[in-house]
Structure 1
Amino acid sequence: MGRAFEYRRASKEARWDKMSKLFPKLAKAIQVAAKEGGSDPDMNPKLRSAIATAKAHNMPKDNIDAAIKRANGKDSAEIKNIHYEGKAAHGVLVIVECMSDNPTRTVANVKAIFNKNGGEVLPNGSLSFMFSKKAVFHLERYNENLEELELDLIDGGLENLEQNEEELLISGDYTAFKELSDIIESKGLIIKKAGLEYLPNNPVNLSEEQLVDIEKLLDKLEDDDDVQAVYTNIE
């Protein structure tokens, strides 16, 4: 019984630790979307998606509302979208998306993580031909007519639709984000996560041993407070 209690407590602490890192990142994404496109979700598809992503991760409504309010405040921090490019062992290419109110701090942290974990930061633009920027929507599984849904989404710029046991994945060119978002919402589909992502044009396959080599680098990047997303060319 004692061990079971310790396990439950450790599991709960792990969840709280994850939320303590994730919620500020979700709030920052909401704040930036609201500041860029307005605080009305009905008129701002990026804000709608940021809110939907936050809700999918069980972020409380009060936190969401507070993030939107901060975007409209006179003393709101000027948060900028920044991205960095780098390479790791075994031909792994990495794009790191950040949101930061202090780019000097952010670039120093990102470079330090790469340097200490067998990687190297590259000049921005080095990987421009290795990745494509896409509008990507991770949705709950769709249990109705998938072919009919696909036809409707094609009108909005759909390029790829895949469904597995866990989710429905929809993607299109990044310029089609609003159109795809509007169709998805009109169908009543539930968004788990949505946004602009970098997808590799030529993915590489790695062995388990090779994945272990770069796992620490990727974990350290994802743990950084300013890092919103990490993309690689791993299959």
Structure 2
Amino acid sequence: MGRAFEYRKASKLKRWGAMSKLFPKLGKIITLAAKEGGGDPDMNPRLRTAILNAKAENMPKDNIEAAIKRATAKDTANMLEVNFEGKAPHGVLIFIECMTDNNTRTVANIKNILTKHGGELLTNGSLEFMFDRKTVIEFELQEDMDVEELELELIDAGLEEIEAEDGICLVTGDYTSFGTLTEALENMNIEIKKANLERMANSPISITDKQQEEVDKILEKLDDDEDVQRVFTNLA
């Protein structure tokens, strides 16, 4: 089983599980995509992908439309994407992706969470080479689809790996191939269920269950923060 499937399985844990936390986070992604590229998903690939991911999490249509409309609101004028890098106990490295309209607040919150639980905030760029940034696209494998044929069709679009399990197909490529891979699948009339840029640790580590409990406290607090979008670690 490949790394992409392991990341997909991990994402099904309680982190990101509560809709009360998830929908506002997804809404921010939609709003920023609409703000930067316009509110028409047919003309804005990033917005189209954000909507697909929101629908995959059962985000109501009204919420999606409201998030698009917020792109023109005054309070979104200063919204930007920022990343933070940190260290948790037991050698666990953390890469945190945020979306915020107040960077000072976000920095203070992230630093407080880390230091309060035995971690520390690192200088940006410290972990850049500890994670590989990958495109991961998920879709349902139909009966008439042949995985080997799909692989041949997608190689020129930047495919690195394709895996199928339990009727779900995952396509993985370098982060620079996000656009070409999604476009290739759309041209093949394949309905994409989810599409994301993942950060995969290139030297994953293992820790004990007790150590995991300590680290989980930090991860849960980070995911509870309204500005935090996604959290990646070097855990196996």
TM-score after normalising by structure 1: 0.86
Counterpart position of 1:51:
51
1:74, distance to aligned residue in structure 2 (A): 5.4
The separation in 2 between residues aligned to 1:66 and 1:99, in whole angstroms, is: 18
1:81, distance to aligned residue in structure 2 (A): 0.2
Confirm or deny: 8 A CA contact 1:142 1:168 kept in the other structure.
Answer: no
1:208, distance to aligned residue in structure 2 (A): 2.2
1:167, distance to aligned residue in structure 2 (A): 3.3
The separation in 2 between residues aligned to 1:29 and 1:161, in whole angstroms, is: 26
**1:192-227 deviation digits (Å, cap 9, x = unpaired):** 432222111111122322222211111111111100
**1:22-53 deviation digits (Å, cap 9, x = unpaired):** 11111100011111222221222211111001
Alignment of 1:67-78 (within 5 A): 67-73=67-73, 76-78=76-78
User: Which sits farther off after the overlay, 74-83 or 31-40?
Assistant: 74-83
Confirm or deny: 8 A CA contact 1:46 1:195 kept in the other structure.
Answer: no
User: Which sits farther off after the overlay, 73-82 or 38-47?
Assistant: 73-82
- 2:129 is paired with a residue of what secondary structure? coil
Counterpart position of 2:3:
none
Alignment of 1:1-235 (within 5 A): 18-73=18-73, 76-143=76-143, 144-165=145-166, 167-235=168-236
The alpha-carbon distance between structure 1 residues 92 and 74, as it changes in their structure 2 partners (threshold 3 A), is closer
- 1:121 is paired with a residue of what secondary structure? strand
The alpha-carbon distance between structure 1 residues 169 and 208, as it changes in their structure 2 partners (threshold 3 A), is farther
**1:101-124 deviation digits (Å, cap 9, x = unpaired):** 011111111111101112111000
Q: Cα RMSD over matched residues?
A: 2.0
Counterpart position of 1:5:
none
1:172, distance to aligned residue in structure 2 (A): 1.3
The separation in 1 between residues aligned to 2:167 and 2:25, in whole angstroms, is: 24
1:154, distance to aligned residue in structure 2 (A): 1.2
Confirm or deny: 8 A CA contact 2:76 2:101 kept in the other structure.
Answer: no
Structure 2 residue ranges without an equivalent (≥5): 1-13
Confirm or deny: 8 A CA contact 1:131 1:198 kept in the other structure.
Answer: yes
**1:3-40 deviation digits (Å, cap 9, x = unpaired):** xxxxxxxxxxx9xx921211111110001111122222
Give 1:213's aligned amino acid.
E
TM-score after normalising by structure 2: 0.86
User: Taking every aligned residue pair, what percent have the same amino acid on both sides?
Assistant: 55
The alpha-carbon distance between structure 1 residues 121 and 140, as it changes in their structure 2 partners (threshold 3 A), is farther
The alpha-carbon distance between structure 1 residues 135 and 21, as it changes in their structure 2 partners (threshold 3 A), is same
The separation in 1 between residues aligned to 2:211 and 2:36, in whole angstroms, is: 40
The alpha-carbon distance between structure 1 residues 219 and 190, as it changes in their structure 2 partners (threshold 3 A), is farther
The number of equivalent residue pairs is: 220
User: 4+ runs of 1 displaced by more than 6 Å?
Assistant: none
Confirm or deny: 8 A CA contact 2:147 2:164 kept in the other structure.
Answer: no
1:181, distance to aligned residue in structure 2 (A): 0.9
The alpha-carbon distance between structure 1 residues 74 and 114, as it changes in their structure 2 partners (threshold 3 A), is closer
Give 1:196's aligned amino acid.
L
Give 2:160's aligned amino acid.
E
1:128, distance to aligned residue in structure 2 (A): 1.3
